[in-house]
Homo-oligomer: A and B are copies of this chain.
Amino acid sequence: MSIAADVPVPSPSMPTVSSPQLVARLRAHLDGPFGPVRDHCRGLDPVTFGPPPEPLPTEEHRARVTAQLTALAEQPYAADGFPPQQGGTARYAQAVAAFEMLGHTDLSLFVKAGVQWGLFGGAVSLLGTRRHDHLVPLITSGELQGCFAMTETGHGSDVQSLLTTATLDPATDEIVVHTPEPAARKDYIGNAARDGRLAAVFAQLIVAGESHGVHCVLVPIRETDGTTAAGVTVEDCGAKLGLGGVDNGRLSFDHVRVPLTNLLGRYGDIDDTGTYSSPIDNPGRRFFTMLGTLVRGRISVAGGAGAAARSALAVTTRYAAGRRQFAAPGADVETTVLDYRTYQRRLLPRIATAYALQVAQHELVTAMDDVLSGRASSEQDQRRLETRAAGIKVLTTRHATDTIHECRELCGGAGYLWANRLAALKADTDIFTTFEGDNTVLLQLVAKSLLAEYQATFGDLDTLGIVRFGARLVGGTVIERSSARGIVQRLVDAAPGREEDVTFGIRGTQLRLLREREEHLLEGLARRLRRATAPDADAFAVFNATQDHLVEAAAAHVERIVAESFAASVEECADRQAKEVLARVCDLHLLATIERHKAWYLEHDRLSPARTKALTALVNEICAELRPLATDLVDAFGIPDGLLTTEMSGTA
């Protein structure tokens, strides 16, 4: 089969030239349900909230960001993130969508606001009880600044093993917070080095000699005059690769006493008699439930990473559309760099992926709103949200790091200059791949969730059971479908079956290929993990031997979810012109994703060598087809011009 067979017949309504109308229509699609709040954010003064025009000395940058946070507190976004009984408006999705737009400003402000309202405010709001509600308005207004003191020097990913202790002293009804050893020091804590007055400290709660696992206690770390509180040691983490405006610090506690009421006791409290009780008996389940309430932070990080990647793509595409280098033989003018195939290949699939991730992010934020508002309240809803959030966070932060670096390279020396923003975008977002959950650890969390049903019945399954389980896996009992399952299933069902030759231009075929990969990887993983049940098996050795497989399966799952979300959104697009373009962008994202995994498809006999070669040719062709619309595609991101002022040398 030739490539021609794969190329859908061009529609007469497919735009081939740039137009403001197209930009507006694409933007409407990308803004999705959050158009009003995104437009509101677009109106923020870029001088007040934008990045510093040059790198500032640490203390100046920190002071600038603190002032920006105060200015931001006058906007409605922070209050949107809290329920009415805490003085908020319970517009959770709007709060996160607005926060995502902050990703186009100085990312130090994005992180500082995330620490203050998302993490610190989120802990008080979601782990606290009625007695803590009065604090939330002070947090929303910025009057009370705080820290989220979870990570320790010795434990980042493994939160359950934190070493800090919070011990009840029944004699005084106080909790004694203590750092028993250097590895227990709270590390990399945002807002700690300069501004935070109150810290939400995660520690092992000990009552009458018994540990009840990790809980959160509010500990004052500074007096109102800014001096460090007694018993608290604050160190400054000093300079970092990026995020210079965030005052990360280290906190140690020497038997610091706080009232019992400072325990954020929603999931485990101590009564007047000094007795501990929890609505969740199982300590493991309690721990993961507490952690699960903090899912918003991970979702926000994904949003900020996506925004930063879009900023980089917009800067670079505008540069590439104006930059010329080398004249073709016989040509009067030099060639625009965006006309070169290698340039297109490096830039356009990443723009397509940015579209897909934007749509997936909005779907994620909507799912989060359902859970936080109580519309979806089952444990399964909560678990699925956590899994989805972890997965999207991994994919989007990977995409951001990869894309921003590629954009820097595509702009050469101009991309290295501070004035053109790529430098700061790169340095600031690098840490996104490892904070709010290391990406490799998060993928294991995703895989664990996918295998949850398997694990629940793990001990009892014989070989036959495993085979049956495998069958169920394919049938979709375990594999989560995206919310657009109906549309996607219709597309897949309409595509030719596996036994027929693959035609890449058919959406259902594209989606089927991604599904098949995920399912096969998960089935294989389940089979391999079965070995851990053998009587003489070293459980760690079995796990470790499959770790690379596990991580790959998880990533395949998230890629499939993102692809389905995007494909469904294109199907639902009501504007005919935008739909044509979006369909092409969707083709590019899906096919480039499949192409990236072509070794797998060949290895597993899902695609023939002739077909994978045709795939590469087709991706090239779609890049060339979308090239005239490249600037429209990035203009549709709707990033305020005031935030993208560039000094891109060589542009027309």
Contacts and interface: CB of A to CB of B under 8 A. Distances in A.
Interface of A: 54-55, 57, 151, 153-158, 161, 183, 187-188, 237-242, 325-331, 334-335, 339-342, 345, 401, 405, 408-409, 412-413, 415-419, 422-423, 426-427, 430-431, 433-435, 438-440, 539-540, 544-545, 547-548, 551, 598-599, 602-605, 609, 612-613, 620, 649-650
A216 to B, nearest CB: 20
A604 B599 contact: no
A161 B54 CA distance: 32
Contact of A183 (B340, B419, B430, B650): B650
A585 B400 CA distance: 32
A55 B342 CA distance: 36
Given A57-B57, A328-B540, A240 B418 contact: yes
Contacts of A609: 602-605
Contacts of A161: 326-327, 334
A397 to B, nearest CB: 10
A155 B240 contact: no
A350 B329 CA distance: 41
A342 B548 contact: yes
Contacts of A430: 405, 408, 416, 426
A621 to B, nearest CB: 10
Given A326-B158, A342-B440, A405-B401, A413 B544 contact: no
A412 B156 contact: yes
25 contacts: A54-B239, A57-B57, A154-B650, A156-B413, A161-B326, A187-B649, A188-B413, A238-B418, A239-B419, A240-B417, A241-B423, A242-B423, A335-B540, A339-B544, A341-B547, A409-B433, A412-B434, A412-B438, A415-B434, A416-B430, A427-B427, A598-B599, A599-B612, A602-B602, A603-B609
Contacts of A408: 241, 430
A154 B540 CA distance: 58
A341 B545 contact: yes
A161 B333 CA distance: 12
A282 B413 CA distance: 31
B548 A325 contact: no
A183 B57 CA distance: 32
Contacts of A438: 409, 412
Nearest to A538: B328
Contact of A413 (B151, B423, B551): B151
Nearest first, the 3 closest Cβ-Cβ pairs linking A and B are A241-B423, A599-B599, A328-B540
A418 to B, nearest CB: 4
A307 to B, nearest CB: 19
A446 to B, nearest CB: 14
B413 A238 contact: no
Contacts of A242: 416, 423
Looking at A158, A326, A599, the one whose CB has the most chain B CB atoms below 10 A away is A599
B426 A55 contact: no
Given A412-B434, A603-B613, A239 B544 contact: no
Contacts of A340: 544, 547
A431 B422 CA distance: 12
A97 B539 CA distance: 49
Given A155-B325, A604-B609, 18 more contacts: A54-B238, A57-B57, A153-B650, A156-B325, A187-B649, A239-B419, A241-B422, A328-B540, A339-B544, A341-B544, A341-B545, A341-B547, A345-B548, A405-B430, A416-B430, A416-B434, A423-B427, A603-B609
Contacts of A422: 241
A613 B524 CA distance: 13
Contact of A342 (B54, B341, B345, B547): B547
Contact of A603 (B57, B155, B612): B612
B602 A342 contact: no
Contacts of A331: 540
Contacts of A415: 434
Contacts of A426: 241, 430
A612 B649 CA distance: 46
A598 B599 CA distance: 6
Contacts of A187: 413, 649
A57 B58 CA distance: 10
Nearest to A426: B241
A158 B613 contact: no
B341 A153 contact: no
A598 B602 CA distance: 9
A186 to B, nearest CB: 11
A158 B341 CA distance: 17
Nearest to A157: B325
A160 to B, nearest CB: 9
Nearest to A620: B548
A241 B548 contact: no
Looking at A155, A335, A547, A602, the one whose CB has the most chain B CB atoms below 10 A away is A602
A313 to B, nearest CB: 18
Contacts of A604: 609
Given A57-B57, A157-B326, A418-B240, A342 B650 contact: no
